Structure 1
Amino acid sequence: MDVLVCAGCGAELSVPVERVALPPEAHASWGHGPLPPLMEPGTYAVDPAPAPAPWRTWEDLGESAAAAAGVYAPVYPVPCGTRNRMVLAPGDMRGTRLVPERCESHCLGITAGAEPNLVCLGCGLGVGSREDDCGLWQTVWYEPGAVVRRPLTVPAPAPPPPDRTPPLPTDDWDLRLAAAAGAALAGLLAASGGEALALPDGPVTELFGRELARLLPAGPPARRVGLAGPGLPGDGADLVLVPADRRTGAPWPPADDVVAVALPYGVWAHLALPETSPMPPSGRPPAGVLRDDYPLPDHAYGGFGPDHRTLRRTLARMPEVRRPWLRALYDRL
C-alpha cells in the first residue's frame, strides 16, 4: 500500500491505495453521458504512455520520434506529454483544491486544461487534474514530478477469490468488456501471423469470432485459440487467453512456448469459469446447481463486441504493427 504525497511539501494527497494494473479502458470514451470512476476504491495505477498533451502530428514528428513515444503506426495526433502519471478514483483524493478557471469543456463536467486544475492545499503546487465530463471516466491524474509515492507498512488486501459472477446488465460492464476485448483482439491479431484462427465454441467465439473472421483471411485455420489459467492447462492450443495479474498486468504464464494474450481477470473469468449466482440462497445449493431467479439478460446492454478504438490504439502501440501484413490490416481499420 502507498500514500500519494505532494513533492513540494509532503502533504498527503490520497488515502492509502494499492497499486494495480492500468485498466484497458483507461483511454476510451463513450457516448454523451456520465461514466463511473475508472479505478476501484482504494487502488491506483501508473500509465507508462505519454499524456495526451502536448500533441504533435505524425508527419511532423516522424516515425523514429513517434516510436520513441511508444507509437509505431500513424495516429492523429501523437501524444507527447508526461509519462508515468498516476490515476485514482476521485473519492480517494485528499488535500487538494480544484481551480475552476483551469478546467476545460464544461459540458456535463470538466476536463484537464493546459495547467493542472488541482493544487495542493499545503503549498499551492499544481499536482494534477480531475476529469469527469460526459463520455469520460471519473478520474484524478497526478503528475509524477509533483506527486510521489510513500510506501506504507500496511499490507495490501488479499485479492478476491476466483469467481464467475454473471455481469449485471449495466452499461459500465459492457464498456469495460468492450475495451478489454479490443485490447485482447489486438494481441490475437498480432500473434495470428495473418492467418485464420480456430476458436473454441462458446463465449470466446461469441466475443471474438465475428471480428476475426472479418479481419483475417478465409481459409483453413493455422493456429488454435484456447483458454488457460489457474486450473485450465490450455489443451494444446497455440494461442491462449489468460488472466492478467491484478497488480502488474503481466499475463498468467502458460506452459511450453504457447503465446499468451492477457485479459483482465473479471473478463477472463466470464469466458473461462463456471457461472455462479450473484444472489445465493440461504445455505448451499447442491454442487452444479444454479439459481435461475435472478434477472440477467442473455447479453449485457448493447451486446458483446470489441471496441474498435481500443483495438486500433493498442495495435498502434505494439512494435509488431510494423510488419507489412499487420500494418496493412491496421490501415484498413
Structure 2
Amino acid sequence: MTEKQWYHLERPDSVESPGLVFYEDRIKANIQLLISMIDDKDRLRPHVKTHKSAEVSKLLMDAGISKFKCATIAEAEMLALCGSADVLLAYQPVGPNVDRFIRLQKQYPLTRFSCLVDNVGAAAVLAALSQSNRLKSDVFIDVNVGMDRTGILPGNVLELYAKIGQIDSLVLKGLHAYDGHIHDNDFAIRTEKASIIIDVLNHLSTEINNRLSQQPIIIAGGTPTFTVYNTQTVFDCSPGTFALWDKGYQDAFKEQQFLTAALVISRIVSLPESNLICCDLGHKAVAAEKPLDKRVAFLNAPELIPVSQSEEHLVLDAGENHPYQIGDLLYGLPYHICPTVALYENATSVSSAHADQIWNISSRKRKITI
C-alpha cells in the first residue's frame, strides 16, 4: 500500500473538476517562513495578486502583517473589506480608475490607500479630483529599474519628485521599484543584478534627502529577489507567490523553501486512443501562457506527457498499456499559479483543523462594489 501523500483529498468526490484546492496548513507554514526570513515583519508588504482571496489575506493579517500591495481596485477593496490598515495600489490610475481610487478612499476611511504615479499629468488629474473631494492622496513614484514596463528612469526621478512634492492634495511617500525582469535561476546572478538596483535606489534616497529634506519609503522587488532585499536593504518587500508557490518557482528558486500549497484537480474524461488520455483541464482551468510542457505537472502521475490542449480539454500521452481509467483523479501543480487562480470563482480549502471550506476568489472580478 502506497503512503498517503500530502495532497490527497479525504473526500475527493466533493471537489468538482476542474477545481482549485488550497492547502491551508501549508499556506500558514509559508507565511511563517516568510516572516522568519526578515528582520522586521513591518517591512513586509505582500502582493495579493497571486491568491486574490480574503481568507488568505486574513491569514496574513492574523500573522501580524498589516501592509499590502495589489494590482487592481477590486483587490484593494477586498483588502479594505478584510480590515487592512495600509494598501498600495501598484498601478497608476487613469481614466475612470482615478474616480474609483477616490471613491475607495471615501468608502473605506479606516484603510490608508496609496497608488503609483510616474507622470506629472496623471498626478495632476489625481490631485485635482482629490482636492475636489477634500482628500489628500498618498502616492509613490514608480521607478523603471530595467523592466521597461512602467515607471520613469532613475535620472528623471528627482525632477518629478520635486514637482509632485509641491502639490498640496498629494502626499508623496517615496519610491516603488519592481524588478520582474530578474528571474535567473542562479541566486548569485539574481543577487548581482538586484545589487545594482539597490545601489540606484539608495543613491536616489540620499539625493532626495539631501536636496528635498525628505526620507523616502522604498518599496522594491517581488518574489525572485526577496531573498536579496530582505537581508541587504531596509526596503519594504513585496513577494506574492510565496503564499501558494508553484512549479515554476519551485524549480527556479532553490534557496526559497516555500511549500506548494495550491493545486488544480482534474479528472480523466476520455480514452481516445490506446496511449492517450484526456482530462478536463483546458486553457480555462490552468494558465496557458507557457509552452505546453510547462503548464502543469501531475503529482500523482509525473510520467504523463502533454500532447495538446484546448479550452476544456488536455490530452496526455500515458503510454501503451497504461492503467488509467475514466474518472481517475489527477492532482495538478501549475507552473504559474497567479493567472491560474484568476480562472476560478472559488477554491476548496483543505485543513487539518476543520472540515473543507469554500473560499471565494473574490478579487478575480474587476469590480466588487466600486
TM range (shorter): under 0.3
Question: What's the TM-score once normalised by structure 2's chain length?
Answer: 0.23
> Between Structure 1 and Structure 2, whose CA radius of gyration is higher?
2
Question: What's the TM-score once normalised by structure 1's chain length?
Answer: 0.25
